């Protein structure tokens, strides 16, 4: 409808223009009759105007020259220069206009001569003023010249000549105007007819214009209704909504926004958004930039913020998520911002509950490790003691070996379980340095070869001489490669074949472990690195483990910026795991692995063993006595201090979880004694995290050993 009305208005305007053109054509016909008189009248007006303009230029030149001579300010020379530049053209125009009038031509020559003389005088005055070096004297001389009246007399003469020309032209104008009026009356009748037609068309245009206004009014009403619908929609949605103008002032709050901000319409409308919507960082309590401000600055949608607290008008605090988006009109111009936010108190409480559950899980795993390690310690000690007793019965030696191997397996399972938990929660940091891949593989193979040989499996190692270096934590890389070897040994039948090969490929190092074992089903292959995933989940499965070894491999490799891949042709056809790590561009030679020299038995030591578990105390004491050491024992902190004062041991193996007085307290009291300054304190505990080691170092311990302790490590410590 609006388009049709606008089109009708355009048609009416076109007809009006056409009528005016017809009227113009008729007028031209009549004007031909009076063209001559009109031309003369027009020329007379031009002569008068040109005379006035030429006289005005002379006045401007004189005024500018006087201002400069009286003040010395060069700014006054601008009108002088403009007038001098205009005057020749104005005279030339007058000469052309008066060619048909000899009398006026003669007068114009006289005016041109007088004007030239006057302009020359003005120029000389300026030159004399600028030539005088003394500015004060120049100004004084200039004032006298100006006040002398010489310029006024010259200008009066020029004005007189110009006035005579003007009177002559006005006389001609009266004669020619009379002729023009007579001719104009003839054209009047024609003009009246055209005027009547034009008035009719104007009336039509006015009617159409009024109709167009009515259409626009109806469109405005529709737009208002749409805006009300938009407002109603915003006020009825479940999230809090605040709308602002382009200056960031609040124009709308829906009921949810009022409830969360504690502001009502009467107080909030027109206020800056920062007053109504106050947000701070949940952790630092620093003020957070409003999404509205960011939208107005960037003109784009602003995503959800995290860990933001909304402070209501009454000080009440609510955790929220918020977002802002620009509002554009039909032409794409920014006309406001809509801010949407929501109360996430319940979600934040759920997140806290998850964090608490995660913390309790870590605490449970640490406690589980502690409770498992405590009974494993006397078992390992007892098994090693059986071997030291030297019984001629091979079955005793076999039993000792079985127990030690199974204790080692249990210890590794506990360590892997704790490592997965720490890596998942981001509590493990790498001690990075340039690491030779050959050294990593040598150390991992050294650990893996005994269990492989016990299963009569062939372990082939092929490391390229140029395999190079990586930036990493050697202990963690050894753990990753060792886990792959352990996995291959565990899932390969006795007498099988395992091959480890390492190569340098462009900018990375590839370490692959290939076995002839049970293989991996195709449906399990994509999930083989997932936590607690195993190929054989049946009750009669022959392989042990918790399904966390490969998860540890992937996490540790990814922490080094690498990746691990698994491949298998299916069940019974073996599998291959490949670690790929970024390679360092180092040319240093790869150190050849050297076996640790056999340490000769150390001297006999005076040792004090303190543990509240009799089995742990007695088994370790017996083991040490069989090695030739003198051993005393204690079961709590107070008796340990008393025994130390009587016995004066060189080494103290001290459990941390003692009744009454903890091992930390005992260590601090011992370190406070002058006689215990050179004693080596060894912490024995089921807790083995880095935080636990930091606590024992702070308490004064020299060594931290996690249960079950390797007897060889104990003997090495005593021999050092």
**Token digits of residue 201:** 């068309």
Contacts of residue 47, defined as CB under 8 A and 6 or more positions apart, other chains included, come to 94, 97, 98, 104, 165, 169
**Least confidently predicted of 58-67, 132-141, 529-538, 635-644:** 529-538
Contact indicator for 496, 457 with CB cutoff of 8 Å = yes
Q: At 599, is the secondary structure helix, strand, or coil?
A: coil
What is the mean predicted confidence (pLDDT) over 686-690?
74
Give CA–CA dist 553/531, Å, rounded: 11
DSSP state of 312: -
Element at 62 (helix H, strand E): helix 2-71
Q: At 606, is the secondary structure helix, strand, or coil?
A: strand
Give CA–CA dist 712/450, Å, rounded: 16
Residues constituting the chain: 720
Confidence of residue 372 (pLDDT cuts 50, 70, 90): low
Q: Bigger pLDDT: 61 or 388?
A: 61
pLDDT attached to residue 588: 52
pLDDT attached to residue 698: 92
- The CA-CA-CA angle for residues 684, 685, 689, to 5°, reads 120
**pLDDT over 60 at 323, yes or no:** yes
Stated pTM of the model: 0.41
Q: Bigger pLDDT: 675 or 216?
A: 675
Contact indicator for 48, 88 with CB cutoff of 8 Å = no
**pLDDT over 80 at 220, yes or no:** no
Cis upstream peptide for 366 (omega within 30°): no
Give CA–CA dist 435/478, Å, rounded: 11
Q: Bigger pLDDT: 474 or 426?
A: 474
Q: At 95, is the secondary structure helix, strand, or coil?
A: helix
**Token digits of residue 663:** 């091992």
Portion of the chain with pLDDT greater than 90, in percent? 17
**pLDDT over 60 at 537, yes or no:** no
**Token digits of residue 264:** 């009502």
What is the mean predicted confidence (pLDDT) over 310-334?
86
Confidence of residue 440 (pLDDT cuts 50, 70, 90): very high
Q: Bigger pLDDT: 207 or 374?
A: 207
Per-residue pLDDT of 128-161, as tens digits, reads 777 777 666 656 665 655 555 566 677 777 777 7
Confidence of residue 632 (pLDDT cuts 50, 70, 90): very high
Q: Bigger pLDDT: 305 or 109?
A: 109
- The CA-CA-CA angle for residues 492, 494, 495, to 5°, reads 105
pLDDT attached to residue 669: 92
Contact indicator for 249, 272 with CB cutoff of 8 Å = yes
pLDDT attached to residue 83: 78
Give CA–CA dist 398/394, Å, rounded: 6
pLDDT attached to residue 455: 86
Give CA–CA dist 321/308, Å, rounded: 7
**pLDDT over 80 at 100, yes or no:** no
Give CA–CA dist 315/538, Å, rounded: 60
**Least confidently predicted of 50-54, 419-423, 448-452:** 419-423
Report the DSSP beta bridge partners of residue 580.
510, 563
**Token digits of residue 130:** 């600028």
pLDDT attached to residue 510: 95
**Least confidently predicted of 73-77, 143-147, 386-390, 651-655:** 143-147
**pLDDT over 70 at 541, yes or no:** no
Contact indicator for 53, 114 with CB cutoff of 8 Å = no
pLDDT attached to residue 346: 83
**pLDDT over 70 at 392, yes or no:** no
Q: At 534, is the secondary structure helix, strand, or coil?
A: coil
pLDDT attached to residue 475: 83
**pLDDT over 90 at 576, yes or no:** yes
Per-residue pLDDT of 258-278, as tens digits, reads 888 999 877 889 899 988 899
| Other CB atoms within 10 Å distance of the CB of residue 472 | 26
**Least confidently predicted of 106-110, 324-328, 439-443, 704-708:** 106-110
Q: Bigger pLDDT: 519 or 31?
A: 519
Backbone dihedral region of 660: left (phi > 0), alpha (psi from -120 to 50 degrees) or beta? left
Give CA–CA dist 645/651, Å, rounded: 13
Element at 311 (helix H, strand E): strand 308-311
Q: At 340, is the secondary structure helix, strand, or coil?
A: strand
pLDDT attached to residue 546: 44
**Least confidently predicted of 126-130, 460-464, 552-556, 694-698:** 126-130
Q: At 180, is the secondary structure helix, strand, or coil?
A: helix
**pLDDT over 70 at 279, yes or no:** yes
Contact indicator for 481, 440 with CB cutoff of 8 Å = yes
**pLDDT over 70 at 394, yes or no:** no
pLDDT attached to residue 130: 74
Q: At 719, is the secondary structure helix, strand, or coil?
A: helix
């Amino acid at each position: 409808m609006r388009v049709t009305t606008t089109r009708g208005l355009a048609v009416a305007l076109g007809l009006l223009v056409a009528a005016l053109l017809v009227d113009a054509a008729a007028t031209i016909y009549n004007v031909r009759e009076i063209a001559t008189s009109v031309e003369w009248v027009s020329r007379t007006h031009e002569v008068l105007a040109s005379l006035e303009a030429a006289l005005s230029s002379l006045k401007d030149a004189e005024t500018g020259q006087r201002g400069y001579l009286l003040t010395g300010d060069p700014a006054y020379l601008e009108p002088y220069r403009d007038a001098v530049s205009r005057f020749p053209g104005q005279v030339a125009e007058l000469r052309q206009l008066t060619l048909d009038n000899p009398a006026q031509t003669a007068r114009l020559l006289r005016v041109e001569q007088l004007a030239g003389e006057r302009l020359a005088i003005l120029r000389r005055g300026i030159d004399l003023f600028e030539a005088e070096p003394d500015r004060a004297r120049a100004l004084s001389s200039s004032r006298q010249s100006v006040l002398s009246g010489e310029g006024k007399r010259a200008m009066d003469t020029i004005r007189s000549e110009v006035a005579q020309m003007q009177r002559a032209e006005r006389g001609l104008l009266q004669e020619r105007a009379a002729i023009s009026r007579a001719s104009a009356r003839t054209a009047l009748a024609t003009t009246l007819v055209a005027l009547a037609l034009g008035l009719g068309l104007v009336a039509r245009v006015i009617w159409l214009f009024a109709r167009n206004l009515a259409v626009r009014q109806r469109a405005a009403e529709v737009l208002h209704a749409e805006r009300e619908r938009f407002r109603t929609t915003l006020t009825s949605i479940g999230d809090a909504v605040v709308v602002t103008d382009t200056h960031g002032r609040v124009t709308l709050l829906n009921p949810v926004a009022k409830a969360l901000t504690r502001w009502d319409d009467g107080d909030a409308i027109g206020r800056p958004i920062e007053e109504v919507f106050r947000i701070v960082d949940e952790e630092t309590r620093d003020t957070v930039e409003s999404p509205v401000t960011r939208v107005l600055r960037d003109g784009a949608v602003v995503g959800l913020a995290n860990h933001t607290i909304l402070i209501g008008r009454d000080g009440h605090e609510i955790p929220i998520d918020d977002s802002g988006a620009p509002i554009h009109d039909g032409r794409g111009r920014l006309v406001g911002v809509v801010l949407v936010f929501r109360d996430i108190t319940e979600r934040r409480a759920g997140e806290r509950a998850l964090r608490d559950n995660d913390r309790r899980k870590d605490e449970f795993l640490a406690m589980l490790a502690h409770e498992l390690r405590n009974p494993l310690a006397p078992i390992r000690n007892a098994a090693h003691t059986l071997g030291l007793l030297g019984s001629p019965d091979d079955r005793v030696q076999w039993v000792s070996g079985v127990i030690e191997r199974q204790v080692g397996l249990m210890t590794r399972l506990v360590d892997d379980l704790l490592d997965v938990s720490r890596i998942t929660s981001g509590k493990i940091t790498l001690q990075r340095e340039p690491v030779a891949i050959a050294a990593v593989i040598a150390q991992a193979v050294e650990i893996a070869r005994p269990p492989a040989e016990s299963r009569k499996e062939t372990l082939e190692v092929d490391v390229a001489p140029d395999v190079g270096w990586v930036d990493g934590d050697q202990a963690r890389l050894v753990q990753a490669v060792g886990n792959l070897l352990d996995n291959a040994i565990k899932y390969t039948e006795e007498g099988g074949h395992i091959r480890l090969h390492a190569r340098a490929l462009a900018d990375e190092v590839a370490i692959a472990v290939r076995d002839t074992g049970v293989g991996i089903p195709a449906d399990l292959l994509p999930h083989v690195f997932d936590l607690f995933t195993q190929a054989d989940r049946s009750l009669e499965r022959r392989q042990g483990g918790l399904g966390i070894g490969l998860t540890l491999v992937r996490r540790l490799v990814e922490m080094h910026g690498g990746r691990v891949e698994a491949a298998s042709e299916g069940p019974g056809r073996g599998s291959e795991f490949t670690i790929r790590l970024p390679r360092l561009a180092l040319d240093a030679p790869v150190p050849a692995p050297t076996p640790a020299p056999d340490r000769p038995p150390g001297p006999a030591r005076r040792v004090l063993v303190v543990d509240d578990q009799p089995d742990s105390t007695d088994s370790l004491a017996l083991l040490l006595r069989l090695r030739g050491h003198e051993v005393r024992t204690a079961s709590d902190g107070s008796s340990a201090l008393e025994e130390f004062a009587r016995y004066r041991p060189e080494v103290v193996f001290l459990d941390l979880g003692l009744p009454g007085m903890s091992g930390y307290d005992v260590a601090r009291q011992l370190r406070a004694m002058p006689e215990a300054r050179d004693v080596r304190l060894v912490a024995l505990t089921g807790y083995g995290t880095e935080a636990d080691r930091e606590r024992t170092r702070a308490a004064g311990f020299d060594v931290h050993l996690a249960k079950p302790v390797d007897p060889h490590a104990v003997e090495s410590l005593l021999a050092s």
